[in-house]
Structure 1
Amino acid sequence: MRYFRRGWDEDRGDEYASWGTSTFYLALDGEGYAHVQVEVYADGTVIAYDAEHDEDRYGFLTYAQLDLDEFAPYEIGEREFSEELGRLRPMNLRADRPWPPGR
């Protein structure tokens, strides 16, 4: 797995646009497919997706193969990824679900 944190300077452009801009946290495999996707919005909203929770009314785990070379400047270490996710609590996950993934 490779880990990334990437800012997005535009809102969602949908009914949740008021959440504002976002930062994406992604765990991608060697082929560029997402296994964990966490979105942190400017207003504090956090949503997350993985194999156990891949879609809901707010969005979905990207199924696109992402270009690892394009994401290379945004790569962070596994420890930093885990620590940052550990400080977040996605609103769209069951309260009894272990978080972050892998715990």
Structure 2
Amino acid sequence: MQRFCSRRWHESRGDDFDGWGHSVWYFAVDDGGWPVRQVQAYDNGPVRRYGPDHEQDQYGGLGLASLNDPDDDWNDYVVDRNEFERVWHSADNKQLVTHERGFGTGRSRHEDGRGSTGRRPRTAPR
């Protein structure tokens, strides 16, 4: 059964797109807590959407950590399916303004400063 969460990040990206500002992230996660769909809405406009048909791009990608992490309780951030679906369907990657200079890693950092280090293993081929 999917679970849906939303959480505000109180840090900027720390990369070439730092000017996007802070963000609110929305997740649909599987039974193992792994993100299967995700929306990142930045304070200064850009919105990124990732899922099975678009897992990553030069700006970021689907979450790399399970939300079932015992060191980080996500129960306070659960939202209902309707809220997630509203955000998912309104998200449009085309709102993004591209830059000519080099791209950052696209990884955002959690409000406690932890970042991701790699992609989770795939369970099925593309």
2:60 match: 59
Q: Is 1:10 the counterpart of 2:11 in the alignment?
A: yes
4+ residue runs of structure 1 moved beyond 6 angstroms? Answer: none
**Deviation of 1:84 (Å):** 2.6
Which residue does the alignment assign to 2:111? none
- 1:90: Cα distance to partner? 2.3
Q: SS where residue 70 of structure 1 aligns? A: coil
Following superposition, the deviation at residue 92 of structure 1 comes to 7.7
Per the normalisation by structure 1, the TM-score is 0.81
Identity of aligned residues (%): 34
Please, which runs of 5 or more residues in structure 2 have no aligned partner? 97-126
Which residue pairs with 2:89 in the alignment? 86
Question: Aligned-pair RMSD on alpha carbons?
Answer: 1.9
Matched with 1:31 is 32
Q: Is the 8 A contact 2:48 2:91 kept in 1?
A: no
What CA distance in whole angstroms lies between the structure 2 residues aligned with 1:58 and 1:39?
11
| Greater per-residue strand proportion | 1
TM-score normalized by the length of structure 2: 0.67
Secondary structure in structure 1 of the residue aligned to 2:13: coil
Query: Larger Cα Rg: Structure 1 or Structure 2?
Result: 2
1:7-35 CA-partner distances (Å, limit 9, x unpaired): 00000000000000000000011111000
Number of residue pairs matched by the alignment: 93
In the TM superposition, what whole-angstrom CA distance separates every residue of 1:68-103 from its partner, at most 9, and x where no partner exists? 67111011100111123333322389xxxxxxxxxx
